[in-house]
Structure 1
């Protein structure tokens, strides 16, 4: 979706010298006072006139329209005495149409001002004409004529700005071209022009009262574009350059745009919480200034961040709020509806998912219909003249046609009968064909259902076989533990008892202590085997305590295991608790055996009927492409247990970052 860099018209034609600036640092009072003082003290009418025009625009920017009209009236009285002032006044007086929303007359006055000022070759005239052409270019963008808008900027405005020698004007024009490329998703081309915009603004005069605002906006837009093309280090530098200006103006309405770019940067570097904080700051700023369109843009920017965090309930709330906002454009509402349908689907609300998917389709059809109407209107205008000429020719040929109609009536009737017969036969054929197709479709549906059931049964058999095989391996392991561990210790204990019985009546205390140690070790080993079979804490205290005990039991001096639990319910069925416990146990055993890590993080949480398991280590990792070549049963048993709970597993491993298992289970 194209970013709404071009807002409604009152926001578009802004930030121009001698015209309204919507985004401002709110630091104009000193400049305004200097203009008022100059008007009061100067005795030169021409200076008083041009200063009055500029002061009128400053007042209009601040929505002080009465003061603006008052200064404009004073300047208009002086202007007729001086040809340049009179011609410049055409431009200054055009702004009153913009404030009223009369775009048609505003465009006419801009064109007139540009034509009138062509006779002047001063730098000031070139700079003013460059701004006028820039505003005309923006109007072309509103009319969806971006090709003409681009031509006007490059072929007309930029040469004028270069003649004026005003680098700030030139930087603003390069920024405007960059924005057009951004709106058309041509980000690399936009980068070339924004790079030039940065170069020119650094060369510009810092004495201009609009310099800081122009520079801040260029770097804000540049940061957003650099994030889009993945050059995040450069994007951060542009953000820092903008912040160096804006940090001294915390109440400026330019902060909304800055926080949008900052939030997008944090999203690209996956610092999701910071991204949300930046977007919320931007929303607060734009809401303060009643900038509804920018606020909605910031709200929608939160959507991919929340989606990446799997916070679909928050995603749903944001999109519902945006759709209910009556100021949204139809094309935006269409996008909101599609994403909201996806959010409801993720939340399991199929009814609302279907509702908003249908709404998306209706909006798409409506937009296509409007486009079609525009094309039809253009075609009608194009061919109106041809149709009128055709009517004259029709009247002249009417008499000849009447004769031909009379002669050909018989032929037409015969042809009509033949066509009717053919159509009847065609309908019969299509009806029979439709019946056959329905039968074939029914058979295909049956075959599909049978194949699906067969695959399902086969998968269940495979899972059961794997589980049986795993149980057999577990039995072998338990037998081995009993034989090699407890069995050997009990045999040794038996031999010592026999030795004591056959010895003299005096029993060595060291021998008794040794037998007591063997007996304690046997009991400990037996408890360990029993715990591996089914942990007592799981049955008595629940899953969270059992997992905590497991992590505590397995950690060593060399390996630290950090366990976190969030909202784990106590009403999970016992069989599912055991399966979850075995999954965590298997992953920890694998990490302890193979990862060579020093730290292991275990995070378990529950969200309604979904259970999340995340286990990360800082070990050596392994090659995911060779995972299928592993011979052990561990990962196979793990996958089978996850499949039994209709879950899914994601594995991320590298030699630099270690290994992370992310598991989502349906309980």
Structure 2
């Protein structure tokens, strides 16, 4: 099951400027008929909308639109920005991120034109948030950095605190949880001091999510309970429901299944009242899991099917995949294997579709950036050519005049001008070639990073999704065994099936580990390579000796470490597939500003000239990664004499 905190995280996007203590709603509504058509009425509409947004978001949007229309009518730019800030808060809460981005960019332009520094900072942060939810972290960071500078110059302590909360969300998205906690703690500390409860509820919930991702569950639970109590105090149903989902998710991660109903039932009632259907899907899935572990399979199936119906209605692909996985486990536990397998196949198809969309989106973005940069380079080159041609024409006109006086001088000057033109053309061509090389390297870097991100995501999905489901199937089979009477022959067959299931779980974990080894992320390249070589030794396929020299206390950036690990992985796989070798040596060393990787084997060797025409994916991947790190490769091999591959990479 997907971590519920990810979905709740999306419900707490903040439009800076909200959170003040507001008058009673009834008293505000009574002021509307008599209010003049001025800035005061704009602020009245905004205040009324803020009262409605947590429990009745569509009514809140209606009042915000009234504020925006009146602000345009009376030419009140600050009112337009306030309308956008508040309106996009509700859009974010409803998942309408594209519309939110367009409006926030309008707010930035209005604030720049009017030189309104505080509203500019708010609009910049809101625009950064819109980019962040679209996973465009480069643009998000750019807007956040500019907004942070504006607040440091002109902002109050409160706006600084809210900015810290938003930066917490950014670093959470980048999975830099320590940094997220640092910003989140600063925000919560200040908001507690001034008792700004609406914003404190948001910041505390976000901080709890960061602690939960680091498995510091007690700290996370305390923050979620604080958020829930604030929600009760200020009558914020969204904060209450979100807290219940987060607490339920922690109970699930800690295998406290008996507590799930308490949290998810409360969340269900709240989100039914709010008509927040995506959160309702998560509530239903949590209840389905609770009743699955209570072995009340019909009720579990009922909740799962209710959630599935909503995902079909709203086309919630990600939630649909997780709900289908849960339903598959339920029906298998009910011994309806055919239906369980059908839901599993449906989940796989939805997951494949999501992966294809992600890859296609990333590819299109890379191509767009590359083409835009390429066109910009071409425009610059054409402009330079035009200038050169114009200078050449002027020079020729001048030479024609001189020709009347001195023909010989004209010939000499013409030759010099031609040589000068050719030299400039050659320099220009060299520069263009260098730019094209830089663009190719940038494209390669983007592809490699995208590949590693997909490997990481797939490894997590395999381990957390498929692994959990296989374990659930094994648990269901174990339960079934206790309730069945089998012949000795069937019992042996059943045990063999259980052994095969254990082997499948182990193989799945091995695949997930190969896609993104934990040792590489946690302990670094040296430890990860050592573990990989030991794994090959234990498999008996090849005896590998690993040596490392000069790597003590060496800090290698993660991109370089992953690239070296993948090169080593590919080389050893090639040895096992093609070399018929008995032993191999892997040596990784560091000297001054160079990292050297040597891989040798005692296999049958080959004629290295065949590599010039090699079209295999494996060798192409190795070459691409070495070129990306601006390295050099030396290969020594001959038939029946083994192979030695030496790669040198610059670290600075």
In the superposition, the TM-score normalised over structure 1's length comes to 0.46
Larger RCO (CA under 8 A, 6+ residues apart): 2
Q: Which structure: larger Rg?
A: 1
